[in-house]
Amino acid sequence: MKLLFERSVKGRGSDILPEITTGSYRPEAKYLRQSKMHLPEISEVDLGRHYTQLMKQTHGVNDGFYPLGSCTMKYNPRVDEETASLPNFTQIHPLQPVNTVQGCMKVLHKAGRLLCEITGMDAMTFEPAAGAHGEYTGLLLIRKYHQDRNDTERVNIIVPDSAHGTNPASAAMAGFKVVNIPSNDKGGVDLEALRAAVGKDTAGLMLTNPNTLGLFDPNILEITRIVHEAGGLCYYDGANLNAIMGRVRPGDMGFDCVHLNLHKTFATPHGGGGPGSGPVGCKEFLKKFLPCHMVEERDEFYYFADPEKSMGQVRSFYGNFLVVVKALTYILTLGKKGIPEASGKAVLNANYMMHQLKDHYHVAYDQICMHEFVLSLDDLKKETGVSAMDIAKGSLDFGIHPPTMYFPLIVHEALMFEPAETESRETIDEAVKIYLDLFEKAHSDPEYLHNAPHHCPIGRPDEVKAAREPVLKYEFND
């Protein structure tokens, strides 16, 4: 497919702006740029067609099954898009006087209260723009808490070996040292390892529950107790909240702060990798360290207030506001029954799918799973040479977005499936049939799968070449 720049013809374009009406003010020559700025010169019709072609080479939730583990690719309701497009939200400048933005502030306040109830927290900031950004913010809360108590020795954040890569990376960015602890044979936190790891240097624990194996850790109360007794705080990574929302709350499990991914659990679209939104909630005792611009209410008037010992800001203004509008619309639609129904169906879908695959594929931890489950294709690979990558790429030919591959790191040849609640039984049945056919194919014609996909716009790209000889932009001839 041609690039925008390869479609460019000198002199073409659209008339978007009127002529200048204010006279002939121009900057002096010494300020002007000399170098040419190559932007595409393209008619509106050709521009539209260019992106329609790109669209056809993009797979979204509406194109088909998207069981990408840990990413919660649920259906993105259209009414959420509509409310976020209301001009009375989109055309608001963030620095307008507060009496002219009461609607926006109400959105933040209302969404905050609802999410506090869902998570069992007391306060919520919407400043973080994505999950990893939320992790960073939550960890800064922990850091501020210990600093405020002059407890400066607490420099370690404990992270299980099944954690998302963002956990240790966020901890490092927040100025902590990372202590990795192993999982036990049931996929949960190894309590002995945890007891050995905690001490006077423990700032906190970061945990995803259910974890990245899709397993709810039954020892959760013991885990948070061990950390608290050692003087540390417990951070809940909300990446997998979709399994338990409306049924169990992080706050009740002993967590002190939490981040949510509105673009996972609360159905806002992923946009090809953003914008997301990663609000952070905390218990009362951490509230005074939250970022600036908290929305407070008095006599139905909303105003901004900076917490007493605020960490400052992690992003400009108030976060990805329009994403919050979408999530609020979603929560109001589902309500008190719809929220636990969604989590329950997500868990049902995962167990239903796992059940039908497990006679052929090896389930890494064969027990009731939550909203996702992990297969290990180690045996299949030894037997046939067909890897997790090969099966994943094979599924592409059937219009299925592959599951998450090679994660979590503690499972060899891992494939992690998350069939979100909005997928129907028929969709899952069809997908199961495809994965069972691929299993057969692995035995009958492994070579075919090594070369998959066969029917996509491109075959497997040469990633080594991309990294060794980086071409990161189009090179113009003039």
Q: Of 9-38, which residues contact other proteins (CB under 8 A)?
A: 12-14, 16-18, 20-28, 31-35, 37-38
Using CA atoms, how far apart are residues 50 and 63, in angstroms rounded to an integer? 19
At 181, phi and psi to the nearest 5? Answer: -125, 150
Using CA atoms, how far apart are residues 74 and 418, in angstroms rounded to an integer? 10
**Is residue 111 classed exposed, middle or buried when 0-12, 13-18 and 19+ CB atoms within 10 A define those classes?**
buried
447-466 footprint of other proteins as x/- string (CB under 8 A): ----x-x--xxxxxxxx-xx
| Longest distance between any two alpha carbons in the chain, whole Å | 77
Return the residues of window 98-117 that contact other proteins according to CB under 8 A: 100-104, 106-107, 110, 114, 117
Question: Which listed range, 196-204, 230-238, 323-331, 373-381, lies at the site for other proteins (CB under 8 A)?
Answer: 323-331
81 CB-side CA count, 13 A? 7
- Does residue number 385 form part of the binding site for other proteins (CB under 8 A)? no
Q: Choose which of 121, 123, 130, 380 interacts with other proteins (CB under 8 A).
A: 130
Question: Which listed range, 192-200, 225-233, 345-353, 378-386, lies at the site for other proteins (CB under 8 A)?
Answer: 345-353
Q: Choose which of 422, 435, 441, 446 interacts with other proteins (CB under 8 A).
A: 422
Shortest separation between residue 451's beta carbon and other proteins, angstroms: 8
Q: Choose which of 225, 296, 333, 366 interacts with other proteins (CB under 8 A).
A: 333
Q: Choose which of 205, 418, 421, 442 interacts with other proteins (CB under 8 A).
A: 421
Q: Are the beta carbons of 211 and 188 closer than 8 angstroms?
A: yes
Convert 267-281 to b/e letters by CB count within 10 Å (16 or more is b): bbbbeeeebbbbbbb
Question: Which listed range, 195-203, 350-358, 379-387, 441-449, lies at the site for other proteins (CB under 8 A)?
Answer: 350-358
Q: Choose which of 121, 123, 124, 140 interacts with other proteins (CB under 8 A).
A: 140
Shortest separation between residue 376's beta carbon and other proteins, angstroms: 19
Our measurement of the distance from residue 359's CA atom to the centroid of its chain's CA atoms, rounded to an integer in Å, reads 31
Between 332 and 443, whose beta carbon lies closer to other proteins?
332
**Is residue 110 classed exposed, middle or buried when 0-12, 13-18 and 19+ CB atoms within 10 A define those classes?**
middle
Return the residues of window 354-383 that contact other proteins according to CB under 8 A: 355, 368, 370
Q: Choose which of 65, 67, 69, 74 interacts with other proteins (CB under 8 A).
A: 74
**Residue 204 CB contacts under 8 Å (≥ 6 apart), including other chains:** 139, 142, 154, 157, 158, 227, 232, 233, 234, 235, 256
Between 172 and 195, whose beta carbon lies closer to other proteins?
172
Between 63 and 148, whose beta carbon lies closer to other proteins?
63
- Does residue number 196 form part of the binding site for other proteins (CB under 8 A)? no
Return the residues of window 262-291 that contact other proteins according to CB under 8 A: 263, 267, 269-277
H/E stretch holding 106: helix 102-119
Write out the two tokens for 444.
Answer: 């009958």
Shortest separation between residue 383's beta carbon and other proteins, angstroms: 25
Write out the two tokens for 162.
Answer: 């099944």
